[in-house]
Structure 1
Amino acid sequence: MVISTIKRHGQAAAAALQFLTRIPVPLTVPFEPVTLARTVIYFPLAGVIIGAILAGVLGVLELFSPSMPSAVLLLIVWTALSGGLHLDGWMDTADGVLSHRSRERMLEIMKDSRVGAMGVIAAVLLLLFKFAVLAEWLGQEDGKHVVSLLAIVPIWSRWWMGAAIAGWPNARQGEGIGALFHLASLRQVTGGFVVAVLLTVICTTIDGFSLYETIVVLIGCVLLTWISGTLLAVWLSRKLGGLTGDTYGALNEAVEAVLLFAGLLAIHVI
């Protein structure tokens, strides 16, 4: 019984990495609804692995590279680790919802593999914003806690993807990537939340945060993720009649941008 449970959760964790990253995981996982619902628990794990790699890359770049080139290189690695999956969702979502067409036409536009003008504009603005924030982060004379904050951001943006999957209906009525996770529920989201909290505490502990600083980071991450994620998810759901795989990627990108900016502001305080 215990071995079977460990195996199921190991498969779910592997599936989360295979689904959300381009990190090779040499394990065959049954992509069935039950398994995929369980992967929601481990979305934050995929996030922290991405964050840890980014932190490692930053540690190397700090040895020889100025802040602005380092910010560009970090963005390249960040995007490559997910195969551009979430950025693609951001662009497709922008193309659809900013077209101001009917709901059905918006969904058709989002399915089109070609990127339109609004998608390009949205991607450029997002990447410029992330670049500016990262460059400012890396340009601080006192870079205290930058590495751990960089590792924490992907944890919460990916937890919110799971929360959005369980919290809003699928706009495509049984079609698309979102439909594969139709069994995900509050139970898995709660499990993912616990994992996100534990991983955040581990990151802050390793980086020498005080108990007070850790509590501030946790409260800030939870509130900012929930507020920004909910506002965008509600708006998208009203536009589209639910959420899609593309909007999950857009939500991830939006929450990351909010947390990055908040982290920059927090660096001046913590």
Structure 2
Amino acid sequence: MLREFLIALQFLTCVHFIRPPVIEPGRFGRSGVFFPLIGLLLGATAWSVDSGLRPLLPLGLLSGVVIALLAVLSRGLQLRGVAASAVGLLGRKPRAVRLADMQDRTWGGVGITALVAVLSLKVAALACLDTGYRGAAVLLSPMLGRWACVVMAYSSRPARNHGLGAAFMQGLGFREFGTASVMTLILVLSLVEVGGLLVFLGLAGIMIGWTLYCNRRLDGVTGDVIGALGEVVETGAVCLFAVLESVIG
């Protein structure tokens, strides 16, 4: 399992032990069991920076620094998915053309707008968190985003027969899905209790809606769409924690 852990670490972060990283379809899918753990490591790093810089920076600036750090540590992987998915999901062209446009990486106004909107919303939501749920949002939202990728990959079919998304889905089984889900739920409930359960349920609704919509629009999902869901869920988690703090205090 060490090999699978290293594959997940290399794929989801800027840390590389093998150059170039080797993606083996079977092992790549099995590495999904470690996706939430890698997300938790990213969150722990961001939480440490957030706590260390808290006395030095105003809250809004600090929130921007934390979100930028997460983007750099993850190589912007999920953010690229957001931009590409906006092109594929919102366009009016035939399915095959939209799938080709997603691979083209020339996202245009639609992709850039989606990217800016998601980042702006995440920074604004985190800036609303002063005490209370701020630590939980920084620590847990990256984990929840990576867990969402596993759930979508397990419950969907590939829109293409090639690519990283297809390779990930082919090797991902119920064991990886179940272990990742149980691990995530236990960590969320142990750290945030009732508030964590509310966030978990809210994110489940987002995941179900996104998965159904993407499968209908593209007749399956791609690696970009899976990554985009991870970013949407990560942003949604921060927003839900902000709402909880506003309502509950």
TM class by shorter-chain length? over 0.9
Q: Cα gap change, 1:14/1:130 in structure 2, threshold over 3 Å: closer, same or farther?
A: same
Q: Cα gap change, 1:26/1:175 in structure 2, threshold over 3 Å: closer, same or farther?
A: closer
Whole-angstrom distance in 1 between the partners of 2:115 and 2:15: 23
Aligned equivalent of 1:264, options 230, 237, 242: 242
Whole-angstrom distance in 2 between the partners of 1:240 and 1:65: 44
2:34 match: 42
Q: Cα gap change, 1:71/1:35 in structure 2, threshold over 3 Å: closer, same or farther?
A: same
2:215 match: 237
Equivalent AA in structure 1 for residue 145 of structure 2: S
1:222 match: 200
1:208 match: none
CA offset at residue 239 of structure 1? 0.6
Aligned equivalent of 1:106, options 98, 107, 112: 98
CA offset at residue 220 of structure 1? 2.2
Whole-angstrom distance in 1 between the partners of 2:18 and 2:189: 29
Aligned equivalent of 1:177, options 156, 164, 168: 164
Alignment of 1:52-91 (within 5 A): 52-91=44-83
Equivalent AA in structure 2 for residue 162 of structure 1: V
CA offset at residue 157 of structure 1? 1.3
CA offset at residue 175 of structure 1? 0.9
CA offset at residue 81 of structure 1? 1.0
Alignment of 1:186-205 (within 5 A): 186-200=174-188, 204=191
Answer whether contact 1:11 1:29 (CA < 8 A) is retained: no
Whole-angstrom distance in 2 between the partners of 1:267 and 1:35: 40
CA offset at residue 119 of structure 1? 0.2
Whole-angstrom distance in 2 between the partners of 1:27 and 1:111: 23
CA offset at residue 23 of structure 1? 2.8
Equivalent AA in structure 1 for residue 236 of structure 2: V
Superposed CA offset, 1:19-44 (max 9, x none): 11113447998632321122111110
Aligned equivalent of 1:21, options 13, 20, 34: 13
Whole-angstrom distance in 1 between the partners of 2:78 and 2:178: 23
CA offset at residue 189 of structure 1? 0.4
Answer whether contact 2:126 2:134 (CA < 8 A) is retained: no
The alignment's TM-score, normalised by the length of structure 2, stands at 0.92
2:87 match: 95
Whole-angstrom distance in 2 between the partners of 1:42 and 1:80: 20
Corresponding residue pairs, total: 247
Query: What runs of 5+ residues in structure 2 fail to find an aligned partner?
Result: none
Answer whether contact 1:17 1:25 (CA < 8 A) is retained: no
Structure with higher Rg: it is: 1
Whole-angstrom distance in 1 between the partners of 2:196 and 2:40: 15
What SS does structure 1 have at the residue aligned with 2:171? coil
Answer whether contact 1:75 1:131 (CA < 8 A) is retained: yes
What SS does structure 2 have at the residue aligned with 1:23? coil
Whole-angstrom distance in 1 between the partners of 2:22 and 2:64: 37
Query: What runs of 5+ residues in structure 1 fail to find an aligned partner?
Result: 1-8, 205-212
Q: Cα gap change, 1:103/1:15 in structure 2, threshold over 3 Å: closer, same or farther?
A: same
Answer whether contact 1:99 1:106 (CA < 8 A) is retained: yes
